[in-house]
Amino acid sequence: MKFTVLASGSTGNATLIETAFSKILIDCGTTKRYLSSRFDERNLLRTDLNALVLTHAHGDHIQQLKHFKEVPTYSPFEFDHYPRDYDVIPYQSFEINDLKLTPIELSHDTEITVGYVIESPTKKLVYITDTGYVKVNDYDLLKDADYYIVESNFDSELLMQSNRPYMTKQRILSDTGHLSNEACGELLSEIVSNRTQHIVLAHISQEANTHDLAISTVKSYLNGYAGIIEAAHPFDLISGGDFD
């Protein structure tokens, strides 16, 4: 299994997951021009995708939805303009070729938000962004992944010092907001194992966080972790994994 974070953050989100038999895109935020350029760099057409898999209905995750009408779409919510192809229901696994996806329920200020546990015959990837917390009951599902793409959105002190409105700060800090660096570190400390090779910290705030701070804070919770840990920039690619 290979992954490529194409875009991450409030300006847009999209991640490509590939195996020898499957290509799926998680979310389709950012701009049409940007996504098209990234696809062109890989000689990849939208019609090469086996599926578009969505997490929730915020614009930074579905902005280019109309340009993927020809791609089978898996979604936990209904669209306004055309029907989804497959209904995603938390904890009901489904398969796309050689991939098994298990959606988990997250806590964000939309009607339904999910993350995904994605498994190939030999690898496991966990994708979690846009949530105020992760249920302890889900930890067993999330443990022992090879790859983690997990939100590390804000530093609490920088958030409170920012010029954002007080109501926005309260929303971000709430149970339906985002994960802080500390909360991300605490979560990963419970689920990362010796099997884990690569961690990507995602959806990092440009006003209330820094990439170095996110990495250093999360690392402080991961004693003994020897794998790769990176922080995703809005438009810089991060790739990991390989084809077995």
191-217: per-residue pLDDT in tens? 999 999 999 999 999 999 999 999 999
Domain ranges of the chain: 2-241
Report how far residue 82's alpha carbon sits from residue 238's, in angstroms, rounded to the nearest whole number. 32
Beta strands in 79-235 (DSSP E): 86-87, 94-96, 99-105, 114-119, 124-128, 147-151, 198-202, 228-231
Specify the range with the lowest mean pLDDT, choosing from 11-25, 75-89, 176-190, 203-217. Answer: 75-89
Residue 92 above 90 pLDDT?
yes
Using pLDDT thresholds of 50, 70 and 90, give the confidence band for residue 151: very high
| Residue 174 pLDDT | 87
What pTM was estimated for this model as a whole?
0.95
The residues facing 75 across adjacent strands are 87
- Measure the N-to-C terminal CA separation of the chain; round to a whole number of Å: 7
Residue 82 above 80 pLDDT?
no
Mean pLDDT of 173-188: 93
Which CATH superfamily does the domain covering 2-241 fall into?
Ribonuclease Z/Hydroxyacylglutathione hydrolase-like (3.60.15.10)
Residue owning tokens 């969505």:
54
CB 116 within 8 A of CB 127: yes
Report how far residue 20's alpha carbon sits from residue 33's, in angstroms, rounded to the nearest whole number. 27
User: Considering only CA atoms, which of 99, 201, 147 is closest in space to residue 3?
Assistant: 147
Mean pLDDT of 139-160: 96
Cα-to-chain-centroid distance, residue 238: 12
User: Considering only CA atoms, which of 73, 45, 44 is closest in space to residue 61?
Assistant: 73
Burial class (CB in 10 A: 0-12, 13-18, 19+), 9: buried
Report how far residue 49's alpha carbon sits from residue 88's, in angstroms, rounded to the nearest whole number. 18
Residue 149 above 90 pLDDT?
yes
Geometric angle at alpha carbon 188, from 238 and 118, rounded to 5°: 60
Q: Which of 73-87, 90-104, 161-175 has the highest mean pLDDT?
A: 90-104
Using pLDDT thresholds of 50, 70 and 90, give the confidence band for residue 79: confident
Using pLDDT thresholds of 50, 70 and 90, give the confidence band for residue 244: low
Q: What is the DSSP letter of 14?
A: E
Report how far residue 209's alpha carbon sits from residue 198's, in angstroms, rounded to the nearest whole number. 21
User: What is the per-residue pLDDT across 99-143, written as a single tens digit (0 to 9) for each?
Assistant: 999 999 999 988 899 999 999 999 999 999 999 999 999 999 999
| Residue 80 pLDDT | 72
Q: What is the DSSP letter of 180?
A: B
| Residue 59 pLDDT | 86
Report how far residue 63's alpha carbon sits from residue 230's, in angstroms, rounded to the nearest whole number. 25
- Please report, to the nearest 10 degrees, the dihedral formed by the alpha carbons of residues 191, 24, 113, 58 taken in order: 130
Residue 84 above 80 pLDDT?
no
